[in-house]
Amino acid sequence: MTGPAPVRVEKALALMPELEALAPLRALLVSIARPDEAALWSSSGPYLTLGKRGVHPDELRRRMPQAFQRITEHLQALFKAYVEALECQQRADAPGVVAALLRAGRLEEEVGRHTQARSWYEVALGVAEALQDRRPEVEALRALGYVCLALGEYAAGARHFQRSLALAEAEFDQAGATAASEGLGDVALAQGQWGGAQAWYSRGLRLAEAASDAPRAGRLERQLGVLARKQRDLAAAGEFLRRARERFEAAGPADEMAGVLNEQGLLDAHLGRYTAASAAYREALAWAQRAPRDARLELSIRLNLAELDLEAGRLLEAEAELRRAEQVAIGGHVIRRLAQIYTLMGRLRGAQGDETGFVFFEQAIELAKAVERSVATEAQVYHAYALFRSRLGQQDEARAYLERARELFDSLGEAVERERVEKELRALSA
Amino acid sequence: MIPQVRMEPSARSAVPSKEELALLRILVVAGEGGSAGGLLQNLRQWADDGRLEVDTAPDLPRAVRQLAGQRWDVVLAVLGEHPDDDLSWWVDTLRATGSPRLIAVAPAPSMGLVLRAEKAGVLDVLSLPLRREELARAFERLRSVASETALPLPLVEPHAVGPYALVGQSPAMLDVYKLLARVAGSSATVLVQGESGTGKEVVARAIHMNGPHATGAFVAVNCAAIPENLLESELFGHEKGAFTGAVTRKIGRFEQAASGTLFLDEIADMSLALQAKILRAVQEREIERVGGGETIPIDVRLIAATNRDLKEAIKQGRFREDLYYRLAVVTIRLPTLAERGDDLVLLTAYYVRLFAERYGKKMHAISDRVLELLRAHAWVGNVRELRNVIERAVIVATDETLRADHLPDELRGEETTLADRPQGGLLTLAEAEARHITRVLTHTNGQIGAAAEILGIHRNTLTRKMKEYGL
């Protein structure tokens, strides 16, 4: 009467070759995967990961038209942008060509296709370079800078932003110069170059204030707050965030407000103010609820909230929040963040002294390699895995995982995290 | 004969009196883009008897701020353009912020929304424009819920099993204890069968602690939790470099359990290939590490457990018959919580004390309503689910008595009187069907397969109907 059992995701994915054409099917399969009903209260329930979820082939078949519709809509929008570019070309409206091509790139970015977005931006840049008006070129370079940042290509990103800044300044394009400064600050921040980030953000803030560009000034203040927290100047961080909040609270977009409060939560957590941090995250979630749906933003807040609960020893709440984050990631097609969720799940089990928690790290490593394809994430997972093993007294395995993490951070040229790993290796040997 | 667990009202009631609870503090939250002005004005007019204290928040973020700052009894939230999303957001948020009850207000609430709200424990769903009598009925319901009598926790004598305990004196559990006492003294392999959350691992530990291998380690492996490709090396160990990721030599669980007990939980989830290897280990009493050529003798007592019907799995070719007979030398079947009668009360008392101590709280009583709700609930997850519910309740409890509003919304939802809607009207066939499906789904904790079985329809039919009714 109950029909055949669902197929486990790990088995379903093993049957699917790594073809780009199948990416939407893969995403659909993952998004409809549900925990096995029978396992929810079983002793393996607490260890459920994506791979252990189940899918019904008939449900996949039923949902396929929805996936086709989304693909069709995306392709239609891309084709439309291209035709518009062509029409602009026909009218000899080169800035229009650039604008249409950039729009196509943004559409690709929205669905996480960064490499494809870069191709559109490169074509747009080629057109823009031949123009007398340099503003389209400034914009194309900025778009390329951000897509490189998303792809982890920091040096290339910095080069694009530098060019964008030089052109904007030459053209007295203040908005372009502000945006390029912000981009350069973001690259420096991602690389852990605090001094550079400070200089670029401050410069951007001066320009934004001079131009009375309140939203951008608010964003730059938030970034300066992030930077100050990372540099452990917590008083300055609080001041920057307060100012950013004031700017956004008046009339700012809800997602920006959510971003500032998310950062405020991190700062409060750093200061050991758990209640304040929790309240900030809850309010951030409320702002995110008001903004257009953004699973990435919601996920980021929920992960911070879970980490806060974890650090405060509220393990039950941490687990509930992580399971909600898992659902947001799976339902919202953000499976790239699952590695981070499962790493936190593993840490939680470690805090409970539960050896079977290793299954979360194993799943996170698999996801970091196969889905997220991020060496940085893989290194972070190995680092956390080592601490988990060490906590359970398995020092040989802990050392092996720390060495693997160090090797991976080395390959990225990452200095800050590498030093942390090195320190733990020394402590383990002592 | 087992004495019935009696619970008399406490002389020192920790539950506030009805009069003390008469004043309701209400936070009215406008929907996105809307205003709570009209609503607030109405409420203030209706609150002239002094039993309502009303404040307002212009939007969700400000409401969250106000919820963090003060204590509220009720949130009256106007749902926005996406009522389902808003509703689940509110349920989620209130669960984390001191749990005031929720009254959801929507311009034209759909049947799906009402039923979902009912399932989530929402006090009521009202349609706009608000009618005074409907709102008054919802508040009265809340006041009647607030009137609870404190009952002192009964004495419990748990049998300690390491970090766990066996609690219960029902006839079904006494049978388990007797069998456990008979089997523990031998080295026989034992198969423990029972639904999820009935305490299979605790029983396995009890067998170990009272048996000849008690001085050795008790090593538990959850076969369903571990990815299939890692389970073999987890059980048998591996040599360094045996496969990618084998960074060090690993001693498997069979070896870790030397002279002790190896507990293989959820054994039915193992692949046939691995079942063959387990069979060899049980028969030959020796293993080989993955990537190693050496044969290692093992002296281990094996206890296996499953929540599945292994004989059915054998028929379907998913479980080896020879392994089944090797494992099921003695079989212990554990009763469900529903089969254990008043053990529910003893377990509740045990867990209240356990978690009160863990979280540094003083708790001496539970309310009569909590007891009613616990007795009425379908415990799909058995003792594990009860433990989970009590732990959460103790965490949120602020006084010495566990009260209904400390329980999760899903349990409280079962007491709300949404079921008597629509007032005075008769249900259409579709409404009755949707309502019944919701009730069965609540009973099975959302398990579609189990619900389909109860309803006597195919799960695909049930899925279609759920979609049709927006459930």
| Same-domain pairing of B99 and B202 | no
Closest residue by Cα to residue A85 from A76, A74, A75, A95: A95
- β-bridge mates for residue B333, sequence order: B193
Query: Which residue in the set B227, B456, B460 is minimally distant from A359, CB to CB?
Result: B227
Q: Does A317 touch chain B (CB under 8 A)?
A: yes
Query: Which residue in the set A279, A283, A359 is minimally distant from B226, CB to CB?
Result: A359
A330–chain B nearest CA distance, Å: 16
pLDDT at B63: 87
| Same-domain pairing of B250 and B212 | yes
- β-bridge mates for residue B75, sequence order: B27, B102
pLDDT at B411: 79
Distance CA B180, CA B349 (A): 24
Indicate the range of A188-192, B123-127, B442-446 predicted with least confidence: B442-446
Looking at beta carbons, which residues of chain A come within 8 Å of B445?
Answer: 40-41
Q: What angle do CA B307, A342, A302 make, to 5 degrees?
A: 110
Q: Is residue B152 part of a domain?
A: no
In chain A, which residue's Cα lies nearest the Cα of B33?
A290
| Same-domain pairing of B199 and B124 | no
Band (pLDDT 50/70/90 cuts) for residue B423 is: very low
Q: Can the peptide bond before residue B129 be classed as cis, meaning omega within 30 degrees of 0?
A: yes
Q: Contact at 8 Å (CB) between B340 and B199?
A: no
| Same-domain pairing of B142 and B178 | no
Task: Fill in the DSSP letter of residue A371.
Answer: I
The arithmetic mean of pLDDT across residues B154-169, rounded, is 88
| Same-domain pairing of B128 and B197 | no
| Same-domain pairing of B80 and B224 | no
In chain B, which residue's Cα lies nearest the Cα of A280?
B65
Q: Does A404 touch chain B (CB under 8 A)?
A: yes
Contact A41 B228 (CB under 8 A): no
The residue among B291, B309, B333 that closes a domain is B333
Q: Chain B 186-205, CB below 8 Å of chain A: which residues?
A: 196-197, 200-201
The arithmetic mean of pLDDT across residues B211-216, rounded, is 92
Q: Can the peptide bond before residue B422 be classed as cis, meaning omega within 30 degrees of 0?
A: yes
Distance CA B56, CA B77 (A): 10
Coil vs helix vs strand at B294: coil
User: Phi and psi of A48, rounded to 5°?
Assistant: -60, 130
Higher pLDDT, B307 or B397: B307
Indicate the range of A116-130, A134-148, A296-310, B360-374 predicted with least confidence: B360-374
Distance CA A209, CA A213 (A): 6
pLDDT at B233: 92
Band (pLDDT 50/70/90 cuts) for residue B3 is: very low
Looking at beta carbons, which residues of chain B come within 8 Å of A290?
Answer: 32, 59-61
Which amino acid does the sequence have at B312? E
Contact A359 B92 (CB under 8 A): no
| Same-domain pairing of B202 and B127 | no
Most confident of A35-49, B94-108, B245-259, B301-315: B301-315
Which amino acid does the sequence have at A313? G
Band (pLDDT 50/70/90 cuts) for residue B420 is: very low
- Which stretch of DSSP H or E encloses residue B313? helix B310-315
- β-bridge mates for residue B367, sequence order: B150
| Same-domain pairing of B250 and B183 | yes
Sign of the CA dihedral running A108, A109, A112, A115: positive
The arithmetic mean of pLDDT across residues B170-178, rounded, is 95
Percent of chain A with pLDDT over 90: 67
Q: Does B247 touch chain A (CB under 8 A)?
A: yes
Which amino acid does the sequence have at B317? G
pLDDT at B465: 82
- Which segments of B154-300 are extended strands (E)? 159-161, 164-166, 190-193, 218-222, 237-238, 250-251, 261-265, 286-288, 295-297
The residue among B333, B353, B373 that closes a domain is B333
Contact B457 A1 (CB under 8 A): yes
Contact B222 A283 (CB under 8 A): no
Sign of the CA dihedral running A312, A249, B30, A323: negative
Q: Contact at 8 Å (CB) between B52 and B76?
A: no
Higher pLDDT, B367 or B142: B367
Q: Does B384 touch chain A (CB under 8 A)?
A: yes
| Same-domain pairing of B225 and B313 | yes
Q: What is the tally of structural domains in chain B?
A: 2
The arithmetic mean of pLDDT across residues A247-266, rounded, is 89
Contact A51 B63 (CB under 8 A): no
| Same-domain pairing of B203 and B125 | no
pTM of the full predicted structure?
0.82
Closest residue by Cα to residue A223 from A175, A177, A188, A249: A188
Residue B293 pLDDT exceeds 70: yes
Output the domain CATH number for residue B234. 3.40.50.300
Most confident of A329-333, A413-417, B50-54: A329-333
Distance CA B406, CA B396 (A): 6
| Same-domain pairing of B45 and B142 | yes
Buried-exposed string B12-24: b where 16+ CB fall within 10 A, e elsewhere: ebbbeeeeebeeb
Looking at beta carbons, which residues of chain B come within 8 Å of A289?
Answer: 60, 85-86, 89
pLDDT at B97: 63
Range of the domain at B211: 171-333
In chain A, which residue's Cα lies nearest the Cα of B388?
A316
pLDDT at B37: 63
- Which segments of B246-340 are extended strands (E)? 250-251, 261-265, 286-288, 295-297, 301-306, 330-333
Query: Which residue in the set A283, A317, A362 is minimally distant from B230, CB to CB?
Result: A362
- β-bridge mates for residue A402, sequence order: none
Higher pLDDT, A201 or A42: A201
Output the domain CATH number for residue B42. 3.40.50.2300
User: Phi and psi of B365, rounded to 5°?
Assistant: -150, 160
The arithmetic mean of pLDDT across residues B401-420, rounded, is 68
Q: Chain B 213-242, CB below 8 Å of chain A: which residues?
A: 222-228, 230
Give how far Cα B239 sits from Cα of A304, B234, B292, B300, Å: 39, 12, 6, 21
Query: Which residue in the set A39, A58, A290 is minimally distant from B32, CB to CB?
Result: A290
The residue among B284, B313, B333 that closes a domain is B333
A271–chain B nearest CA distance, Å: 19
Give how far Cα A52 sits from Cα of A115, B224, B371, B442, B449, Å: 31, 9, 36, 24, 17
pLDDT at B52: 77
| Same-domain pairing of B205 and B127 | no
Contact A285 B459 (CB under 8 A): no
Distance CA B290, CA A237 (A): 53
Q: Is residue B414 part of a domain?
A: no
Q: Chain B 401-420, CB below 8 Å of chain A: which residues?
A: none
* Angle of the B382-396 helix axis to the B368-376 helix axis, nearest 10: 150
In chain A, which residue's Cα lies nearest the Cα of B393?
A316
Tally DSSP H helices, then E strands, for chain B.
19, 19
Task: Fill in the DSSP letter of residue B252.
Answer: -
Fold of the A253-333 domain = 1.25.40
Q: Is residue B348 part of a domain?
A: no
Rg of the Cα atoms in chain B: 27
**Cβ of A430: how many Cβ atoms within 10 Å?**
5
* DSSP states along B328-381: TTEEEEPPPGGGGTTHHHHHHHHHHHHHHHHTT----EEEHHHHHHHHHS--TT
